[in-house]
A and B are shown apart, each in its own frame.
Chain A
Amino acid sequence: MNRILFSIVRKEFTHIFRDIQSLYLVLGMPLLMLFLYGYAITLDMRQIDTAVIDESHTPESRELISHLSSTDFFRITARDVPLSDIGDLFKERAARCVLIIPPSFARDLAATGDAQVSLIVDASDPNAANFIRNYVGQVVANENQALNPERSALFTVSPRIFYNPDMRSANFFVPGLIALILILITSLLTSIAIVREKETGTMEQILVSPIRPAQIIVGKVLPYTLIGFIDGVMILVVGSLWFKVPIAGSLALALGMMLVYVITGISLGILISTIAKTQAVAMLVAVTLTVLPSTTMSGFIFPISSMPVFLRWISDIIPATYFLEIIRGIVLKGNTLADLYRQALILLGMDILLIAVSVRAFRVRLG
């Protein structure tokens, strides 16, 4: 038994290290994805192009404008353009919002302590429009507070932000990426490794030997488990050293859960290999079954709670949904196993189910 397993494991490693394509898949792609997601995909907004129309021309209005432009969020790109040009500004993408301070601003402020400014927002990207509204609201609220501390409000909300106090996207995305990358890499590598043997005919040669299906499967699972695990560690290390994502919880727990999740991906890959007849099909199925649902329906970017009911059902059966909760819980919140046992048990259950199904579906005969 050990000899047979060892033979398969050693052969798989030889394949991986000799094939530049699989080396890229194992080492290059996860890093590439990490840097792409770490840098390009961010929900933070900075340097929003802003036009300001100051019709008041008073020290008060100038102070408001300088507060706005002193934050990192806004960049004043146009000043005192005619109102009729606003549409063009938006169309030419010269500005995404316009702040209009009316002529009566300083007067009203002095007379009644109550003045209006207006904000026109390009909401073709509704998410961004929301951010802009909130940011401007914050600036104005601060301004109110400074001008008129005793009058400002009957009560105020003073938020304290936990777990990611700077609200950095990287802290949210890097742990999430582990969920995405691990399931993709492991299911892809495993299914291709098995289907390739069917395509080249070597599987036929293996099947005439007395080897049992479980031995073939375990022999394939072991090397790819190690590789998936190394990928996970790599992302965690680069995430924490390069993207400065702090790891709040137990590293050992994170690694242990990664192992459970890697096995989910690998058993999914084996299941795919029992259906797919060519490597191209295996690749297509693996990508469709992992990347697509894991990016859109697992809570990786979009919150599950705001999805329609039937999509939430799908997200309930996606392994990434549970691993995301686990890994974000450990990395960001310092969750312990006691907080995460439900998700951990579901993943473990998925592992057992997938392995059982794939061992049964793995046929020792050709036809």
Chain B
Amino acid sequence: MSDHLTKGGRVRAAGAGQGPDRAASNGHAVEVRDLTRAFGSFVAVDHVSFSVPKGEIFGFLGANGAGKTTTIRMLCGLLLPTSGTGSVGGYDIVRDSERIKMSIGYMSQRFSLYEDLTVRENLQFFGGIYGLARRAIAARTGELLASVGLAETADKLVGSLPVGFKQRTALSAALLHDPEIVFLDEPTSGVDPVARRSFWLLIYELADRGKTVFVTTHYMDESEYCSRVAIMRLGRIAELENPHRLKERYHASTMQEVFMRVESENGQ
């Protein structure tokens, strides 16, 4: 799968050559310090600290229940942290969560679309609640659907589409207002390998246009395409590194191996 992606030089963003110019000059898209969230006595996210430079594809890895979704939800203003601080696009996630919302796009795990509306109607609605003008929405819809290969399905009901199409519709909905930072929560779960590959091509295009992409996944092969990955385990970050360097350090040939070692080492 990664072979296909390396063709055409797209690996630039994924490899060690991640543009430091973009990252250094403009500060960080996401910055988090000791972020913690507890649900009752269960600590879902436990004193997590990291920062994501602008333009990076930041992978968030971990088993189910490791705390990936909870972290994303705190960054998007959907959940309040129990303690710790964080900022997205320079805005504080607690005090300024409403201002963050205009500059982020969010695609939740469940492809949260209206199944009884068509692709176009869904985009019209989500564009509308961001306050975009009708014309702007129409133009942007055409553009986005063409770029994700959905131009012909625009007037089909979302409920009738295969999962891969729904996922691309959801991505389009998250991108309508042209956000600087995009949070994708397991965008490829339940999709076949071909659809996964083409979805990652879309992610690269976003990064090429200077967007910061924050993506969670439990497919280890996908983590190879990230600029850096954070491996989460039981609410904590166990590793945070470029995937190539991680593989070197663990003497592993794939991220899958790296992940298994991290899991077993931390499990002791």
Contacts and interface: CB of A to CB of B under 8 A. Distances in A.
Given A19-B116, A204-B108, A11 B125 contact: yes
Interface of A: 3-4, 6-8, 10-11, 14-15, 18-19, 200-211, 215, 364-367
B220 to A, nearest CB: 26
Given A208-B76, A209-B101, A366-B79, A3 B128 contact: yes
- Chain B, interface size category, equals 20 to 34
B79 A367 contact: yes
Contacts of A364: 77
B104 to A, nearest CB: 7
24 contacts: A3-B128, A3-B131, A3-B133, A3-B134, A7-B125, A7-B127, A7-B128, A7-B129, A8-B129, A11-B117, A14-B117, A15-B114, A15-B117, A201-B110, A202-B112, A202-B114, A204-B110, A205-B173, A206-B129, A207-B78, A208-B76, A210-B130, A210-B131, A367-B80
Nearest to B133: A3
Contacts of B173: 205
B185 to A, nearest CB: 10
Contacts of B79: 365-367
Contact of B108 (A10, A201, A209, A210): A201
Nearest to A1: B131
B259 interface: no
B102 A210 contact: yes
Given A208-B76, A367-B39, A4 B114 contact: no
Contacts of B106: 205, 208
Nearest to B107: A205
B78 to A, nearest CB: 5
B218 interface: no
Contact of B73 (A10, A19, A215, A366): A366
Nearest to B114: A202
A25 to B, nearest CB: 15
A15 B116 contact: yes
B76 to A, nearest CB: 5
A293 to B, nearest CB: 33
A208 B101 contact: yes
B217 interface: no
Contacts of A202: 112-114
A11 B117 CA distance: 8
Interface of B: 39, 73, 76-80, 98, 101-102, 104, 106, 108-110, 112-117, 121, 124-134, 173
A210 B99 CA distance: 7
Contacts of B134: 3
Contacts of B109: 201
A200 B109 CA distance: 11
B78 A204 contact: yes
Nearest to A11: B125
Nearest to A208: B106
A208 B130 CA distance: 10
Nearest to B176: A209
Contacts of B133: 3
Given A18-B117, A201-B109, A209-B126, 17 more contacts: A4-B128, A7-B127, A7-B129, A8-B129, A10-B128, A11-B121, A15-B117, A200-B114, A205-B126, A205-B173, A207-B77, A208-B77, A208-B106, A209-B130, A210-B131, A366-B73, A366-B78
A155 B106 CA distance: 85
Taking each of B98, B115, B131, which has the highest tally of chain A beta carbons within 10 Å of its own beta carbon?
A: B131
Nearest to A202: B112
A210 B98 contact: yes
B131 A4 contact: yes
Contacts of A4: 128-129, 131
A26 to B, nearest CB: 15
B112 A200 contact: yes
Nearest to B128: A7
A212 to B, nearest CB: 8
A359 B177 CA distance: 27
Given A204-B108, A205-B173, A210-B130, A7 B78 contact: no
A367 B81 CA distance: 10
Taking each of A14, A207, A210, which has the highest tally of chain B beta carbons within 10 Å of its own beta carbon?
A: A210
Contacts of B117: 11, 14-15, 18
A208 B131 CA distance: 13
A364 to B, nearest CB: 8
A6 B128 CA distance: 8
A3 B78 CA distance: 23
A98 to B, nearest CB: 62
A303 B102 CA distance: 56
B39 to A, nearest CB: 7
A200 B158 CA distance: 13
Taking each of A19, A200, A203, A209, which has the highest tally of chain B beta carbons within 10 Å of its own beta carbon?
A: A209
B108 to A, nearest CB: 5
Contacts of A366: 73, 78-79
A132 B114 CA distance: 59
A106 B180 CA distance: 104
B98 A208 contact: no
A365 B114 contact: no
A217 to B, nearest CB: 13
Nearest to A196: B114
Nearest to A207: B78
Contacts of A206: 129
Contacts of B102: 210
Nearest to A203: B112
